Amino acid sequence: SSSGGGAFSESTLETFFQKYQSEETKKETATDKKEIDAEGIMRFFDDLGINPESDLVTLVLANKMNAQEMGKFTHEEFTSGMRQLQCDSMVKLKKKIPAMRQELVDSYAFKAVYEYAFRFSKEENQKALNLDTACAMWELLLKDKWSLLDKWCDFLNREHKKAISGDTWNQILDFSRAYNSSLFGYDAEGKDAAWPVLIDEFVEEQLEKLKEGMK
């Protein structure tokens, strides 16, 4: 099979897909029925040398494929993602990984990955993301980026105990950038009036605690 260089070829891409395609869908003739299942994905990342449990670059890659569901790549998702990356083989894909890792550092590209994570993680028929998953995803995405993350998740588990809306999810990234280490200067009536109510409540509680701590 083709290794390393060589021009991108649709037939090679198809072979690449078939390598991971689930046995049950191999009999299907319609392309929209063909898919890679959880087992195939494990093999795929294994071959790629990436641990999908802890390595965020999986999310970047899933975003390239615009994968809608966890544990499944459809034929359409896989091929269009690879076509966009111009990869028809594992060797080519491996070479792209460092660039994809860079996207996790670049703040603009990261925003896209972050927002994608919400769609990717939630149940397909639901609008909000259940709290446990949300906290786990934040842990993956923001652990090194936001020093108030633990406090935030702790607050949600104590006071909110409900799913997280898409708006709150998206706004948290901006918020984590605006108030990275301290909530000092938060103005709920002025410049900060538009943050979701949940953030207001978090800030209020934290500032209250700070005040008590100072006494």
Which residues contact other proteins by CB under 8 A?
A: 127-128, 165-168, 170-171, 174, 193-197, 200
Question: Quick one: 78 or 186, whose CB is closer to other proteins?
Answer: 186
131-157 b/e with 16+ CB inside 10 Å = b? bebbbebbebbbeebbebbeebbebbe
- SS3 of 159-179: the string is HHCCCECHHHHHHHHHHHHHC
Least Å distance, CB 193 to other proteins, is 6
Asked if residues 52 and 41 have their Cβ atoms less than 8 Å apart, the reply is: yes
The count of other CB atoms within 10 Å of the CB of residue 213 is 7
The count of other CB atoms within 10 Å of the CB of residue 77 is 19
Question: Quick one: 127 or 211, whose CB is closer to other proteins?
Answer: 127
Least Å distance, CB 197 to other proteins, is 5
Least Å distance, CB 9 to other proteins, is 37
φ, ψ (nearest 5 deg) of residue 74: -80, 165
Give the span between the Cα atoms of 36 and 70, in whole angstroms: 11
Question: Quick one: 149 or 164, whose CB is closer to other proteins?
Answer: 164
Least Å distance, CB 22 to other proteins, is 34
Helix (H), strand (E) at residue 90:
helix 90-103
Least Å distance, CB 126 to other proteins, is 11
Question: Quick one: 25 or 165, whose CB is closer to other proteins?
Answer: 165
Question: Quick one: 80 or 171, whose CB is closer to other proteins?
Answer: 171
The count of other CB atoms within 10 Å of the CB of residue 104 is 18
Question: Quick one: 127 or 158, whose CB is closer to other proteins?
Answer: 127
**Partner residues linked to 129 by β-bridges:** 164
Least Å distance, CB 80 to other proteins, is 24
